[in-house]
Structure formats: structure tokens, C-alpha cells
Amino acid sequence: MLATIHGVRIRGVCATVPRQVYRFEDELKNFPFPEKTSRRLGKVMGFREHRIADARTTPCDLASYTMNYLFHRGWLRKDRLRAMIVVAQMADHPVPGNSKVMHGQLGLPGEVFCTDVYENCIGFVSGLFTACSYIQAGMEEVALVTTDGGACRANPLDRNTYPLCGDAAAVTVVSRSDDPDDVLHFVFRNDGSRREALMTPAGGCRMPATAETARMFKDEMGNYRSLNHMYMDGTAVFQFVMESVPPLIEELCRYAGVDRSAIQYHLTHQPNRFMLQKLADLLGVPRDILFNNVVENFGNTSSVTIPVATTFNLGKRLLNERFRVCFSAFGAGLSLAAATCRLGGMDFCDLIEHPGNGCIAYTESRALEKGETQGGGAAQPGQE
Amino acid sequence: MMEEQVLHILKEIQPAYAFEEGVDFIEEGYLDSFDVVTLVSELEEQFSVSISALDIVPENFASVRAVCDLIRRSAAGPR
């Protein structure tokens, strides 16, 4: 599916990561492999440290804290907000949906339209398309919330998935614009026949979670997992991405009338460093314009990786500069999504830390800057 | 010479298996996708080649000979 939406701009992005840092080096002893081989794999994949929320902090808490930060700064106003779209794969409760929980947590006016989108790794692009569609339908301003508590579904004994996982939330504010340059082009593709390549088998209606599905077993890779944990056929996913993403971006650029070489930054979903380096090489773009540093600093946060990559790598530059960017994402489904637009001239572009303990009220917490978390300089639990 | 070096790298990654036996390393479960990632990185570093993402498919890692062929192809230039 291809689509174009005129008269919409991304007015700002704010991403929040838990303050709690977990280091791969400390986790090595948990995995059923020699530490030397795990360490070697970690170096290639970018396993260094990741952020996982404490047990009292839910995806809605992370997201509501981010919304309150924006209200506190005056960058978002409850009386201007017309809709809040919450994209997540984990819910605070089976009923009601996350958007209704957040509506209550935030004390939003009754006329704010709140809706939930169940999505995984392509969730940011799907949510952005939904938000842009609402603007086209006549709304002035929409808050796109992406939030993930993916780490709680991973198995701490699984070396192949656990070091990747991270938690985060983001709010992307999408507004009406009169600037003729504010145009977004989208492309989406799905291949449901390959859905088993990335799947959590149990826990839904087809296979309810039971004591039996929770039983741990050693899989063909030598990892311990249960049917309640996420399974990934790494080879199948890798091949899918490498075969599908370059032509997807080519198709998007052709449709948008944008020369591929005009793309200044590729803001891509962040599965691991190796895959992103290979993808950059295959696209024929320098590795430093297709960022690959989110997993090593924060973990793969599913639908929140693109806002984290944007705020961490471009941050304040997006307040005064504008770039032609291409968002692209791929993952469970298997599914693909991409979008291109001019991004910049924003009112805000921040990456902040969540203090933990289920907090939703904004308290002064420091903003993270690029370079601060690299090289072991990350915030420690409890550190201001 | 190249075969010996490849064999050494394979044993470093998965010391438990006898890679000399000539079985299909992928079919027999000697190497999983994460081992392949490590192997690609080691090959690129030790043989100063760049392996295309499109060449990272199971059949190119099924035997020592297949891996050596991949290195030679990769050294010849990008796919």
C-alpha cells in the first residue's frame, strides 16, 4: 500500500528510557554458552547495555510520564490535543486498552479521541500514518504514543533475545501545517505466510498460557526458553530484511519523486548493529547516516526504536535544521513499512530518563545527550 | 591454508563440534544464525573481505569448502 498525506508536520518527538541500566557483561554468566563466545557475539551485535523498567513501571507509566513532561514544558496542551493514538504490543490490562488507561492517568478532557493500535516493530510508521490520517480528517493536533515493555516477555536465560530487549516510550506530536513542503509518503508491505519466523507462541487465544506452556526447554540453538517466550528464526528474519527493505525504499523514493541519494538520514528500526551495518552496505549508503547505536545503548524497544534513534542521534539539531529522512521498519508479521518526509524545525526533540517505581508525574530528570551513554558513561540506577 | 584457518575459526566459535567430518553444518545444527553472524565478522576481519548481506544464506556456511568459496567470491568484489 502506498499513500501520500499533505499538510502534516512532526512538531516534536520526546523519548523516555528507564533509568535502570543492565550490562551485558554482568549477564554473561546467565547464558548456557561459554562467556568468550557470548562476548564475541555481543561485540558484533552491539550487546553492551540496555534499559529495562522496574517491575512497578508499565508501558502506560512510561508513556504518561513522557506526556506529563511535555505538558510541564508547555510543548503540548491538553486543550489543543484532539486525539491520542497509543501503539503497543503490551497492555497494562486486557481491558481497557492502554489509551483509556492513559486518558485517566493524564486527566485528559473527555473530547480527546483515544484509540489503541496493536503493533510491533513497524508500530512507529503505522502509528505515524494513522496520526497523519487524523490530521487529514480535520484534527489540528494528535499525540502519537509508542510504548513497549518488550523486555518482560524475553527470557533472561536466552542469550539470543534477552540482551537485545529494552523498554522505552515516546510521544511524537503530529500537527496540521500550511507549508507545502510538509508532505509524508508511506509504503507498507506484509507477508503473513512467514509469521512463525518471529512469534510468541503462547499467551493468546490460539494457545492460552498454562503451566505446560511455561515449561522451559532447551531449543535447537542451545538456549532455554518456553512457549510463553518470544521465538525468532534469525536466519529467516535476516534474509527477509535484506531481500525486502532495499526494494521497499527504492519503491518509496520512486513514488515520492525523491532521489534516493537525497536522503540525508535513514531512521531505521533498530534490531541489532550487525543487521543495520549490512543493510547500510546493501543500500549503498554510509553507515553513519543509517544509525545503528540504539541496541548497544538502550536495547531494541520495538515500536519506540525510531523515536529513540531520532532523539539520541539528531536531538537538538532538529530544532533548527531540516533533513530529508527515510523512516523504515520491519519485524513481526513479517511486515515492512517506510515513510519519507522533511524532518526538522521542531519545537522539541528530547530523550529523557524515567525515574522508576511507576512514576507518571514529571519530576526533574536529566535529558540524555549523545556520547553520554557511550563508552560506559551511562546513568547508574539511583543516580540523578 | 585457507581451509585450515576457516576450520580454526569454526572451532573457536563452536568447540563442541568436529567440523572436519564433512556434514552440513547448518542442517546438523553445528551453527545457528548467531554463530553465522560471529563467523561472518571473523571472516571479514581475518581475510579482509566484505561479505554481502545477500550472501549470508545457509548454503554458504554448510561446509568448510562453501565458506572458502564465499571468501574467494567476496574478495573478488561486491555482489
pLDDT in tens, A153-174: 667 777 777 888 899 999 999 9
Which pLDDT score is estimated for A161?
Answer: 76
Contact present, A186 and A129 (Cβ < 8 Å): yes
Backbone CA torsion sign across A339, A345, A347, A353: positive
Residues 1-30 of B with CB under 8 A from A: 12-15, 29
pLDDT in tens, A264-297: 999 999 999 999 999 999 999 999 999 999 999 9
Strand-pair category, A183-190 with A2-6: antiparallel
Which pLDDT score is estimated for A200?
Answer: 87
Which pLDDT score is estimated for A374?
Answer: 39
Q: Tell me which of A42-46, A101-105, A135-139, A172-176 is least confident.
A: A42-46
Give the pLDDT mean for B31-51. 91
Is the confidence at residue A355, as pLDDT, over 50? yes
| Helix axis angle, B2-13 to B64-76, nearest 10° | 110
Is the confidence at residue A260, as pLDDT, over 80? yes
Q: What is the mean pLDDT of chain B?
A: 87
Check residue A165 and report its DSSP letter. B
Q: Is A93 exposed, middle or buried (0-12, 13-18, 19+ CB in 10 A)?
A: exposed
pLDDT in tens, B63-74: 999 999 999 999
Which pLDDT score is estimated for A297?
Answer: 94
Q: Tell me whether residue A45 is in a domain.
A: yes
Q: Tell me whether residue A124 is in a domain.
A: yes
State whether A41 and B34 contact (CB < 8 Å): yes
Q: Tell me whether residue A168 is in a domain.
A: yes
Which pLDDT score is estimated for A376?
Answer: 35
Domains and CATH numbers, chain B: 2-76 (1.10.1200.10)
Q: Tell me which of A119-128, A135-144, B22-31 is least confident.
A: B22-31
Strands across the sheet containing A348-354: A113-118, A83-88, A141-148, A168-176, A8-18, A348-354
Return the residue of A nearest to B36 by Cα.
Answer: A235
Q: Which residues pair with A2 in a beta bridge?
A: A187
Q: Does residue A37 belong to the interface with chain B, where contact is any CB pair within 8 Å?
A: yes
Q: Which three cell numbers stand for residue A366?
A: 536529566
Q: What is the CA radius of gyration of chain A?
A: 20
Residues 155-184 of A with CB under 8 A from B: 159-160
**How would residue A371 be classed by pLDDT, with cut points 50, 70 and 90?**
low
Give the pLDDT mean for A239-260. 96
Which pLDDT score is estimated for A378?
Answer: 35
Give the pLDDT mean for B15-39. 83
A contacts of B41 (beta carbons < 8 Å):
40, 43-44, 274
Residues of the domain holding A260: 2-354
Q: Which of A41, A43, A242 sits opposite B54 (nearest CB)?
A: A242
Q: How far apart are CA A48 and CA A27, in angstroms?
A: 10
Q: Tell me whether residue A378 is in a domain.
A: no
Contact present, A281 and B52 (Cβ < 8 Å): yes
Q: Tell me whether residue A384 is in a domain.
A: no
Contact present, A249 and A338 (Cβ < 8 Å): yes
Strand-pair category, A8-18 with A141-148: unpaired
Query: What residue type is A58 in one-letter code?
Result: T
Which pLDDT score is estimated for A381?
Answer: 28
Return the residue of B nearest to A278 by Cα.
Answer: B53
Contact present, A42 and B41 (Cβ < 8 Å): no
**How would residue B78 be classed by pLDDT, with cut points 50, 70 and 90?**
low
B contacts of A274 (beta carbons < 8 Å):
37, 40-41
Residue A260: CB atoms within 10 A of its CB come to 16
Which pLDDT score is estimated for A233?
Answer: 82
Q: Which residue has the higher pLDDT, A359 or A369?
A: A359
Measured between CA atoms, how close is B21 to chain A, in angstroms? 20
Q: Which of A160, A243, A282 sits opposite B34 (nearest CB)?
A: A160
Q: Tell me whether residue A211 is in a domain.
A: yes
Is the confidence at residue A350, as pLDDT, over 70? yes
State whether A282 and B15 contact (CB < 8 Å): no
B contacts of A37 (beta carbons < 8 Å):
12-14, 38
Which pLDDT score is estimated for A384?
Answer: 28
Q: How far apart are CA A376 and CA A207, in angstroms?
A: 42
Q: How far apart are CA B74 and CA B56, in angstroms?
A: 11
Which pLDDT score is estimated for A232?
Answer: 80
Which pLDDT score is estimated for A379?
Answer: 37
Q: How far apart are CA A192 and CA A113, in angstroms?
A: 30
Establish whether the linkage from the previous residue to A246 is cis, with ω within 30° of 0.
no
State whether A234 and B32 contact (CB < 8 Å): yes
Which pLDDT score is estimated for A369?
Answer: 64
CATH code of the domain in which A135 resides: 3.40.47.10
Which pLDDT score is estimated for A272?
Answer: 92
Which pLDDT score is estimated for A372?
Answer: 57
Which pLDDT score is estimated for A366?
Answer: 60
Q: Which of A34, A220, A234 sits opposite B34 (nearest CB)?
A: A234
User: What total of structural domains would you count in chain A?
Assistant: 1
Give the pLDDT mean for A136-142. 95
Which pLDDT score is estimated for A370?
Answer: 64
Q: Tell me whether residue A53 is in a domain.
A: yes
Q: Does residue A32 belong to the interface with chain B, where contact is any CB pair within 8 Å?
A: no
